[in-house]
Amino acid sequence: MKKVGYDYRILIGGKLTKPAKNETMEVINPANNTLAAIVPKCSEIDVNLAVEAANKAKTKWKSTYIGDRSDLLVKLAAIIRAHQDELVPLETMQYGGPISKTSKFDIPFAPAELEFMAGLGRSMTGLTISADPSARVMTFREPVGVVGLITPWNFPLVTAVSKLAPALITGNTVVLKPPSCAPLTVLKLGEYVVEAGFPDGVVNIVTGPGGEVGEAIVNHPGIDKVNFTGDSFVGKRIMRLASERVMPVASELGGKNPMIVLDDANLDAAVEGATYAAFFNSGQNCGSPSRFYVQDGIYDRFVDRFVKAAGKIIVGDPMDPKTMMGPLAYNTCRDTAEEFIEQAKQEGAKLLLGGERPNTPETINGAFVMPTIFEVYENKMDLMQEEIFAPVVGIMRVKNAEEAIELANDSR
């Protein structure tokens, strides 16, 4: 496992290099708040160089036979898979996802995504349409050009690859910025890109704060499209900046996912699904439900079993294979979750489980929050309206499906 002493490099123009200003930043292990690694901290200078390299490479990459592009994606997938034993603990160390998950989901899904897109890309063609007996219309699929990819910290490698693979197979060149708090596996990805033999400048990776490096990518006139996953506030800012030059943006932003459980539900399946979905990755998942609307007839049984099931989740050192839930990604996430918990208590929600940090030797210094369940009586509470991105959920009793749907649709 490469960490503090490892010389991480950014990737610009096919070269693994240091930033122009030779600045660095720290990556902190959220399980114990110790230093995990020191990585490059880029500036606008590096973004300019990366965008220049991507633009220089785009014409040749666009004209590269799609089968050759596909072969490179498959080769990159094989290299990632060969380094899985190294990548798994790195992924766990940088954002706290338990190794039981990063070994089965985070890292294995990355090469699978590359292989899937490599196959799909070979079938991408335009259309030939007979408009009338004397005319024939042909359509062509063209790459956008240079795409800026700004990725989140909750699944660092696989989310980066899920954006990178379709961009590359369709003939685009890329400037990729991983999250500043969890860039390690994406920086390793840069090494594998070089090893796989991608042409210089096709993939460029820069690291640094979103407010400086991310914004420089969005504002750069040499970027033709931005793909962003992250906070809604940041996403709105990106869209405003992009609108100044009518640049397309693809965004996956925040949400407040509901789960409805009606009287005729399979109780076993409902409890199992709710427990897994709500607390998967410590609730740091765009698809995790954090508000539950449960019908009268099944409510008491569901709540009783849901609380018991959540109470059995093993919270601890994410490097321990027995651990089911690790810390949040950093201290600010934990602090925000605790603020929501205290506010819910003050607003009259009934705490059914958790609401505190675990108090064990392996968790006492980390960004941990126990699985937390509230019984809620008012849908307008922030607990039921705001994305918390933590293992904190609220449950409301409803009379019927119509009420459940109405409440589920009543969110910010």
Neighbours of 364 (CB within 10 A): 11
Beta strand 135-138 with 128-132: parallel, antiparallel or unpaired?
antiparallel
Residue 29 CA neighbour count, 13 Å, CB half: 20
Q: Are 209 and 216 in contact (CB under 8 A)?
A: no
Alpha-carbon distance of 203 to 174, in angstroms, equals 5
Alpha-carbon distance of 300 to 125, in angstroms, equals 54
DSSP secondary structure of 307-324: HHHHHT--BS-TTSTT-S
The catalytic position among 44, 191, 212, 286 is: 286
Q: Is 212 a catalytic residue?
A: no
Copy the structure tokens of residue 151. Answer: 């990725």
DSSP secondary structure of 264-278: TS-HHHHHHHHHHHH
Using a CB cutoff of 8 Å and minimum separation of 24, what contacts does 102-108 make?
105/155, 105/158, 106/155, 106/156, 106/157, 106/158, 107/80, 107/157, 107/158, 107/185, 108/81, 108/84
DSSP secondary structure of 171-190: T-EEEEE--TTS-HHHHHHH
Q: Are 289 and 310 in contact (CB under 8 A)?
A: no
Q: Is 252 a catalytic residue?
A: yes
Local structure of 327: helix, strand or coil: coil
Alpha-carbon distance of 267 to 197, in angstroms, equals 52
Under 8 Å CB-to-CB from 224, ≥6 apart: which residues? 144, 145, 146, 147, 247, 248
Under 8 Å CB-to-CB from 218, ≥6 apart: which residues? 148, 150, 226, 238, 241, 242
Q: Are 329 and 367 in contact (CB under 8 A)?
A: yes
The catalytic position among 44, 86, 212, 252 is: 252
* Residue in 305, 317, 251 with CA at minimum distance from that of residue 97: 317
Could you tell me how far CA 175 lies from the centroid of its own chain?
Answer: 17
Alpha-carbon distance of 203 to 194, in angstroms, equals 9
* Residue in 396, 391, 403, 369 with CA at minimum distance from that of residue 381: 396
Q: Which residues are catalytic?
A: 252, 286
